[in-house]
Amino acid sequence: MTRPFTAVLFDLDGTIVDSAPGILSSLAHTYEQLRLPVPAPAELLKWVGPPILDSFRDLAKLDEDESRYALALYREDYRSRGVYDAPAYPGVLDALRAIRAAGLPLSLATSKPESLAKLILDDLHVADAFTEITGASEDEVRSSKPDVVAEALRRLAADGADLSRPVMVGDRIHDVEGAAEHGVPTIFVTWGYGAPAEASGAIATVDTAAELLAKLAL
């Protein structure tokens, strides 16, 4: 059977795991350390998905040096406790294993630093489902979704993967637009943090992991 896609890229936050509890807790801690008023949870939720460094600039309105200092505070707290407060969404881990079992090359493509992403996948015992685990570089030079997608595709190509029909799976407009910059279509999952309007531009929308596997013909 010829499948519709030859390789799969997967976002992490809001797609594989509900990472909001840990992220919001560490963000609140960071605001407190900076002696700034802690935003309401609904405001902090906007931080989940985009690169954190960018959000310190765009949402907290900090300058470059302040943003990097805030990022260091955030990471210290998040690495010690927040990173593990990220339960997987129903059925998604089984879906990842099914993709692997079908022989489809699979890469993570997250704006979360690679080392933190690996901690989460190892904690969930699903890291071995991935051909490549691609995330942001530790210095945040590679953190935008287009850059992460480019690196994921580069690594899969080096592995000899068939990239004639890759697909991205994600929950935010950053996934849709970032993948599109490289000619990669996106399947949008509704269980994450994106508003319905963020699915604009995606080739399909799915409500469950089972529907996702059906779109992948697995």
Look up the pTM and report it.
0.90
Q: How far is CA 201 from CA 5, 61, 145, 174, in A?
A: 18, 29, 15, 11
Alpha-carbon distance of 214 to 158, in angstroms, equals 28
**pLDDT score at 2:** 82
The CATH H-level superfamily of 20-84 is Putative phosphatase; domain 2 (1.10.150.240)
Alpha-carbon distance of 31 to 26, in angstroms, equals 9
Identify the sign of the CA torsion 8, 114, 91, 176: negative
CA 211-163-106 angle, to 5 degrees, is: 50
Residue 49 pLDDT exceeds 80: no
| Backbone phi and psi for residue 96, each to the nearest 5 degrees, phi listed first | -60, -45
Overall CATH class of domain 7-18+86-215? alpha beta
Helix axes 64-80, 20-33, angle to 10 degrees: 130
Evaluate whether 174 touches 12 at the Cβ level (below 8 Å). no
Max Cα-Cα span within the chain: 59
| Domain limits, the chain | 7-18+86-215, 20-84
Q: How far is CA 177 from CA 55, 144, 151, 169, in A?
A: 18, 11, 16, 12
Helix axes 145-158, 173-180, angle to 10 degrees: 50
**pLDDT score at 217:** 95
Q: What is the pLDDT of residues 176-216, one digit of tens each?
A: 999 999 999 999 999 999 999 999 999 999 999 999 999 99
Query: Reduced to 3 states, what is the DSSP secondary structure of residue 83?
Result: helix
Alpha-carbon distance of 185 to 160, in angstroms, equals 20
Alpha-carbon distance of 145 to 138, in angstroms, equals 15
Q: What is the pLDDT of residues 51-86, one digit of tens each?
A: 889 999 999 999 999 999 999 999 999 999 999 999
